[in-house]
Structure 1
Amino acid sequence: MLWLAVHLPRLSIDLVSRALPEPASQPLVISEGPVQRRRVQAVNEPARALGIQIGMGLSAAQALCADLLIQARQPDAEQQALQHLAACLYRVSAEVCLSGNPSTGNHGVLLEAWASRRLFGGGQQILEQVRSILGELGFLAQIGLAPTPAGAELAARMGDGVHALSRHALLRLLEQAPLGLSDLSPDAQQLLSGSGSRYLGAVLKLPRDALARRITAADLNYLDRLSGQCADRRPLYQPPARFEQRLELPALLSSTEQMRFPIRRLLGDLAAFLLGRDAGVQRFHLRFAHEDAPASQLQVGLLQVERDRLVLFELVEERLQRFELPAAVHEISLHAHELQAFAADQSDLLSDTRNVQDSPERLLERLRARLGEQAIQALEPQADYRPEHAQRLRPASTNTRADAALPAALGKRPSWLLATPQPIAPEALHLLSGPERIESGWWDGFDCRRDYYIAEDPHLRQVWVFKTPGPSGGWFIHGVFG
């Protein structure tokens, strides 16, 4: 087996940067700890250039930069982002695990890459897939490879691109791995470092009996899992059956134009999640949280199952132009509770490649988003024998049904039905088939009692005609066959 580890050393900073249209040029720090003793947990490059370091007291950091932008750490948002990354990596491997210790800000994801190498055409292509997903989500990460999960985690923490593709290479890597990057307990690290062992390779060379007397069984088990002496069983991640993602904004936004970038980011997350689940959506909603007003929602319903980020954003953008915000927004969340199977468009080998952006379905989606839900109408069959009541107009939506229950054993029907039946002389008709008696509608005041025939008129057209029963009944053309 070959494990690929993704280490996210600056996840808390990336979560804030994701809501910004451009990389923050202002010094930014993430703070944590008690109110009286808040310290710096993460810094961006402009803050680091001013001398602000991780672990520094917040007051000392503010002394170095008067206009320092400070954001409190959000462990729940970090864990949600980690789970979302795992769901997106599910399209690379079916064995995905969450790793690291969130309480210390040590975040990561593990996936088994050996079984997927043939599917992607080799290990390099798998790495490119993982880096592409990280780029889509806006995360800066370090990637490591090793034959054991713990070894891959350690390789990723040592630096981006650190790989040990065999157990022999892993043992050589451990010769250079500092104790501080391992998952040994702080007490074990202090004890081993005090005895002169600063690298994991030196620790593994110590006599096992002597080592077992000085460190806990959990630390000893970690060393065995790290070197491959025993199995390292991890609980596999299972992606959720619904999508929910929220994005807290660094500043209040008061117009829909300002929200284009964060909404694009959320839709990108949705598209990546759907690709990992091999699914699509037909309806979802955006929720806008306001400080001085109840939350507002923008419902989005589609005529077909979609998962393309650009298509979803185009449809949302059209609806945003007609959406009024009741107050400024401090948080946006996207919810898709009904995932559906997605079938990609198939094209014939010899036919011209069809541009799906110009397909009739996409055109209807754009028109509906731009003109409103009521602007595009669809014909819906009705269970009624009377021809003029056999269908009705209704707004096209995801609930439009083309398979409504129709009366059984209907005769042949014309493709063109006249709005008003036109009288015609019976001697001008050559009857071909019929009659078909239609007698209905006594309950709603539109009683209908007719005998229908298929006939040929003087212009040799095949028409649908009827005669009202009785001695005074006349003949009428009601439809024309195409």
Structure 2
Amino acid sequence: MKCWLYLHFPNLQLDTLFGESEQPTALVHGTRPKIVQVNALAHAQGIHTGMGLGSAAALCHDLNVIAYKPEKEHEALEGIAKWLYLVTSDIVIFPPQGLLLHVTPMLTLYAGFENYWQAIRQHLAQQDVCYHYSTGFSPLCAQLLAEHHQQCLTQDKALLQQKLMALPLAKTGLATKHIEALHRVGTQTIEALTDIPMAELARRFDIDVVNYVGRLLGTFHHPLQEYRPSESFSAHLPLLYELSHTQWLEKPLQRLLVQLESFLRLRNQVAYELTLTLIQRDQQTVDVIFNAAQGEYRHTAWLILCRLHLESVTLTHPVIEITLHVTRLGEMESQADDLFNGRQGKQSHQELVSILQAKLGSHHVYQPHFNDDPRPEKSTQYCQPQDMLPQPQRQAQLRPTLLFTPPRPLVDPVTIVQGPERIATGWWDNNMLIRDYFIACSHDGRWLWVYRTPEKTWWVHGLFS
């Protein structure tokens, strides 16, 4: 038989809120607010789902109340589906709180159901969410058993049917009018419903009931739309409390960076640029861009860069949600590290550039680049470290390490050692230059780069180190 696994997340929006405070919390929904999700502390105070907000507030005066938003729960469900896609393939989203996994195609890869379930369970443990589960011989069978906390992990169809038949019709997904019509003829359980022949069921009830029973028993085809994640990484995290300082963003950001590391590792990729969107009160947004010149996948390395960059960010309003997505990806390049101990006391040029850019800002870090202009003042230019500029065709010449800007008049006696080297150029941009350059030695031992103008004046232009 085909085997399905359904995962039901009853407190998904509450579980995915980031917060470390030990305070009773409940989610409310509806025009007459009803409790739809509670945490363990609120449950210990006697608050349960379906209770009115007034009754809940009377039981717990310090209850933290948050509005339930189905769209936020659907985003969280898609995030878990994307996370599980790293270890299993056929996933179907049952919004707002369920995921259906097709187990049968994965059994060969994992050499049995036990290994497959262990991989799913260990992968889900990193999400830190509460869930109920069950297998089933049909998608609806697995869904019903999981939503009613059966925690059943078996491929025995007889046992699954036994557990399924005991459920009342009120627990099914049938419309209320169909359930009431079935109750009027004495049909109270799924077992009683399935005992009615299909022909009789089609004659006396709506076609929706027939289709539901056929799909529940696995005799009718159940059309499903499989989930396919995008190749880009994007993760969203709502916060339980407002955060008004950037240093408080470090822990929720670390959770997203850990997910990013797993995403990049499995694809053998690195990220060069990340965008952190800070959603502030009143839905104002601020984008913060992080760069890694070398490309990085480790969450620890990205956390250092993010921490340095956030030091220069000032929040005008408290942050209530954060979103992290990758702007630029690339293939991971091999590095010549020690086989057993990895890199020992070594920081690459690109890593240093990344740290400097994070600390000072990307527009304050430059590197010199040689060009083909023969004029000393214009023979070098500053560019961004990641810019790929063409290499100059001019041959390297003996030049001083330090140039004086502007040149200084030569006032001390010197000894000419080498020269002259005439530079007469610059006609194309109306900055004509005619000079005779010499290498000279001063009386105190300094090696100078001096030049003589057509007017016979002498200047010091540079100093050799």
Aligned equivalent of 2:78: 83
Write the distance in 1 (CA, Å) between the matches of 2:416 and 2:191: 100
Q: 1:149 to 1:305 in 2, by over 3 A?
A: farther
Tell me the alpha carbon deviations over residues 231-279 of structure 1, each in whole angstroms, 9 at most, x when there is no partner. 2221122323555554443333222232223323343454455567775
Aligned equivalent of 1:52: 47
Aligned equivalent of 1:126: 116
Matches within 5 A, 1:59-458: 59-100=54-95, 102=96, 107-120=97-110, 122-159=112-149, 161-193=151-183, 195-240=185-230, 242-271=232-261, 280-291=270-281, 295-327=285-317, 329-336=318-325, 338-343=327-332, 345=334, 351-355=339-343, 360=348, 361-373=350-362, 376-380=365-369, 382=371, 392-396=381-385, 400-402=386-388, 404-406=389-391, 410=393, 418-419=400-401, 441-444=426-429, 445=431
Q: CA RMSD in A?
A: 4.2
Q: 1:332 to 1:273 in 2, by over 3 A?
A: farther
Code of the residue aligned with 1:151 in structure 2: it is C
Q: Is the 8 A contact 1:356 1:362 kept in 2?
A: no
How far the C-alpha of 1:229 sits from its partner, in A, is 1.0
Q: Is the 8 A contact 2:238 2:320 kept in 1?
A: yes
SS at the partner of 2:125?
helix
Write the distance in 2 (CA, Å) between the matches of 1:383 and 1:85: 55
SS at the partner of 1:9?
coil
What TM-score results when the alignment is normalised by the length of structure 1?
Answer: 0.74
Write the distance in 2 (CA, Å) between the matches of 1:60 and 1:310: 46
Q: Is the 8 A contact 2:243 2:320 kept in 1?
A: no
How far the C-alpha of 1:302 sits from its partner, in A, is 1.8
Q: 1:110 to 1:447 in 2, by over 3 A?
A: farther
Code of the residue aligned with 2:290 in structure 1: it is V
Q: 1:182 to 1:392 in 2, by over 3 A?
A: farther
Aligned equivalent of 1:27: 24
How far the C-alpha of 1:171 sits from its partner, in A, is 2.8
SS at the partner of 1:331?
strand
Code of the residue aligned with 2:210 in structure 1: it is L
Write the distance in 2 (CA, Å) between the matches of 1:205 and 1:293: 54
Code of the residue aligned with 2:41 in structure 1: it is P
How far the C-alpha of 1:64 sits from its partner, in A, is 1.6
Write the distance in 2 (CA, Å) between the matches of 1:137 and 1:226: 30
Code of the residue aligned with 1:405 in structure 2: it is P
Q: Is the 8 A contact 1:154 1:182 kept in 2?
A: yes
Write the distance in 2 (CA, Å) between the matches of 1:9 and 1:293: 27
Tell me the alpha carbon deviations over residues 97-152 of structure 1, each in whole angstroms, 9 at most, x when there is no partner. 2114x3xxxx1112333333454555444333333443333321123333433233
Code of the residue aligned with 1:135 in structure 2: it is A
Q: Is the 8 A contact 1:86 1:109 kept in 2?
A: yes
SS at the partner of 1:313?
helix
Code of the residue aligned with 1:145 in structure 2: it is T
Code of the residue aligned with 2:30 in structure 1: it is G
How far the C-alpha of 1:56 sits from its partner, in A, is 1.4
Aligned equivalent of 1:6: 7
Write the distance in 2 (CA, Å) between the matches of 1:356 and 1:202: 71
How far the C-alpha of 1:172 sits from its partner, in A, is 3.6
Write the distance in 2 (CA, Å) between the matches of 1:144 and 1:448: 87
How far the C-alpha of 1:74 sits from its partner, in A, is 1.0
What TM-score results when the alignment is normalised by the length of structure 2?
Answer: 0.76
Q: Is the 8 A contact 1:279 1:339 kept in 2?
A: no
Code of the residue aligned with 1:10 in structure 2: it is N
Write the distance in 2 (CA, Å) between the matches of 1:4 and 1:449: 83
Aligned equivalent of 2:406: none
Write the distance in 2 (CA, Å) between the matches of 1:253 and 1:213: 61
How far the C-alpha of 1:14 sits from its partner, in A, is 1.3
SS at the partner of 1:29?
strand
SS at the partner of 2:278?
strand
Write the distance in 2 (CA, Å) between the matches of 1:374 and 1:214: 75
Q: Is the 8 A contact 1:30 1:71 kept in 2?
A: yes
How far the C-alpha of 1:394 sits from its partner, in A, is 3.2
Write the distance in 1 (CA, Å) between the matches of 2:39 and 2:114: 30
Q: 1:384 to 1:216 in 2, by over 3 A?
A: farther
Tell me the alpha carbon deviations over residues 366-406 of structure 1, each in whole angstroms, 9 at most, x when there is no partner. 3432354366543546465789866544343xxx134x334
Q: Is the 8 A contact 1:246 1:331 kept in 2?
A: no
How far the C-alpha of 1:19 sits from its partner, in A, is 1.6
Q: 1:240 to 1:345 in 2, by over 3 A?
A: same
Code of the residue aligned with 1:209 in structure 2: it is A
How far the C-alpha of 1:291 sits from its partner, in A, is 4.2
Write the distance in 2 (CA, Å) between the matches of 1:388 and 1:118: 69
